[in-house]
Structure 1
Amino acid sequence: MTTLRKIHDVTVMMCPAEGEAIAGEQDAIDLIGNASYQGAQWVVVPAGRFDESFFRLRTRVAGDIVQKFVNYRMGLVVLGDISAHTEGSSSLRDFVRECNRGRQTWFVADDEELSERLKS
């Protein structure tokens, strides 16, 4: 069950670690709708909730999901260690680095890093 948290006056919807895999655009739309309904500005999803195809950029799953969040002006945070995925893919490392430069999609290691990002 998702929970709402206020972090530095920013409302975030925290997704649980357990649950259906997030594997495509419809899953993103469902998350965005739920978050919007609850008044959240960001959706925080544990990295383990994403289908493996999300981390293989050639599948375009990550791009499709991120684009939905951009279109609906909802922030997306991928929370947790994804080093097993980035170690084997320079394009994924580049994608993560580019996302983290922006204000829409972030890949963060833990709650502390999330809090720091939301502070600014």
Structure 2
Amino acid sequence: MNITTVQNNGADIALIHSSEELITDVQSALDLIATVQYETGCHRIVLHKTAITETFFDLKTKLAGEILQKFINYQTKIAIVGDFSAYSSKSLRDFIYECNQGKDIFFLASEHEAVEKLSHL
């Protein structure tokens, strides 16, 4: 895992790059939040969807809700970047749409979009 930080519009944002899955369950999400906050002091994270287990995107498992609730509890905003068009689940598309209407969790196409979104909250 490689963590870099950028500052945009006065906001510090952690960009996380990894060739392996970082979030596989609730505990690994908590570990990621703690690591990022300890190493960078950032409460805004950009993470590529490939760093998250595919189980997350199956809403029937409830893993997405449990994990994202931890980000909210620890006052950490997250933008998950990638191509979500491959998912055919209407409930997942609705979930992504609803998240993108809020102020804490976003599903976006690019890292650039994610930095822009997180820096204007």
Aligned mate of 2:60, from 31, 36, 58? 58
**C-alpha distance in structure 2 between counterparts of 1:70 and 1:21, whole Å:** 18
Deviations 1:59-79 (A, max 9, x none): 111111100001111001101
Q: Is the 8 A contact 1:31 1:43 kept in 2?
A: no
The match for 1:7 is 8
Identity of aligned residues (%): 36
**C-alpha distance in structure 2 between counterparts of 1:83 and 1:110, whole Å:** 13
Shift of the alpha carbon at 1:116?
Answer: 3.2
TM-score (norm 2): 0.89
Number of residues of Structure 1 aligned to a counterpart in Structure 2: 118
Written as runs of structure 1 = structure 2, the 5 A alignment for 1:68-87 is 68-85=70-87
Shift of the alpha carbon at 1:29?
Answer: 0.5
Shift of the alpha carbon at 1:41?
Answer: 1.9
Shift of the alpha carbon at 1:102?
Answer: 0.6
Deviations 1:13-68 (A, max 9, x none): 11114123411111110111112212102111101111110110001111111000
Deviations 1:62-106 (A, max 9, x none): 111100001111001101111112xx1000011101100111000
The match for 1:28 is 29
Letter in 2 for 1:84: A
Q: Is the 8 A contact 1:35 1:42 kept in 2?
A: no
**C-alpha distance in structure 1 between counterparts of 2:9 and 2:84, whole Å:** 25
Shift of the alpha carbon at 1:119?
Answer: 4.5
Letter in 2 for 1:32: I
Q: Which runs of 5+ in 2 are unaligned?
A: none
Q: Is the 8 A contact 2:46 2:111 kept in 1?
A: no
Letter in 1 for 2:9: H
Secondary structure of 2:86 counterpart:
helix
The change in CA–CA distance for 1:33 and 1:26 in structure 2 (over 3 A counts) is same
The change in CA–CA distance for 1:15 and 1:119 in structure 2 (over 3 A counts) is closer
- Over 6 Å off, 4+ runs: none
Report the aligned-residue RMSD.
1.4
